[in-house]
Amino acid sequence: MSDLAPMREQVYTDPRPKEHFDRFHERARTREPDWAYELTRLLTSLYAYVFLRVRSISTGNVPGKGAVILAPNHFSFMDHFLMGCYIRRKVRFMAKSQLFKPPMQFIYSHGGVFPVRRGARDDETFITAETILARGGAVTMYCEGGRSRTGKMSTDAKRGIGRLALETGAPVVPIAIHGSSRIRNWKRLQFPKVTVQYGQPLRFERTENPSRELQQEVANQILVEIKLLYDGLEEHGRKGVLKRLREQAGSARRARGGAAVA
């Protein structure tokens, strides 16, 4: 028997036509998130801090301004909010189109979320994401696509994040969210301890019309970096990772000091 609470069956296709979502993309491209973002952030952050004991590592790796793609692993519906708890920037999210139904579509659209039609070639999603990045915004995209249903990270990256990184030239920050696979166990009154670690930004040369092979190669590189962060948290825990980072920083300072003397 799995120690994870069961998830609902996923619905991959949305029967509604592309045109149904045009107004949501238009709003995301032309307007910034409003009070709905701040209210949602406040409520979800309180839940995360109190019940999930969320803590962050190396938030300084996220640029304070300018275009950036944030690339976390994906276990839980809370991952969007967990990743943004310790970032002062307003982060724009992609969400499956099935979520854009009353009454929640009001919160999503006013909070800066935009839809992606899974199972379809949805160029509108990329146009929206690239428009936001061109204005110096922050966009979240998952390498793995949908949520993992096993509690394990996927070994396969979706090439969409490679396409977005190459077409925009925006830096990509790999992010490991550890512990969120057990968030749905709240039904059993079990609350995990969650850690969010932000990696060093990855940069790829801007490329017009990148090939599918190059998109996949970049996506694979990003997923490898996320897995390295995640595996570190899995092996050493929050305190162990922090200790290792402090030791590395100390070694770097000593090396710089030695070089200056020389």
User: Which structural domain, as residue segments, surrounds residue 237?
Assistant: 18-261
Q: Are 81 and 44 in contact (CB under 8 A)?
A: yes
pTM over 0.85: yes
Residue 2 forms part of a structural domain: no
Residue 11 forms part of a structural domain: no
Residue 6 forms part of a structural domain: no
Q: What are the distances in angstroms from CA 197 to CA 19, 67, 103, 260? A: 38, 20, 33, 31
Residue of higher predicted confidence among 174 and 260: 174
What CATH number has the domain bearing residue 131?
A: 3.40.1130.10
Q: Which two tokens stand for residue 148?
A: 């993992």
Residue 224 amino acid letter: V
Q: What are the distances in angstroms from CA 108 to CA 88, 93, 165? A: 19, 9, 24
7: how many CB neighbours lie within 10 A of its CB?
Answer: 12
Q: In this model, does residue 86 exceed pLDDT 80? A: yes
Which residues 6+ apart lie within 8 Å of 35 measured at CB? 110
**What is the structure's pLDDT at 262?**
62
Residue 1 forms part of a structural domain: no
> What's the structural domain count of the chain?
1
Residue 139 forms part of a structural domain: yes
Least confident of 123-137, 167-181, 240-254: 240-254
Residue 10 forms part of a structural domain: no
The string of pLDDT tens digits covering residues 186-210 is 666 677 899 999 999 999 999 999 9
Residue 3 forms part of a structural domain: no
Residue 238 forms part of a structural domain: yes
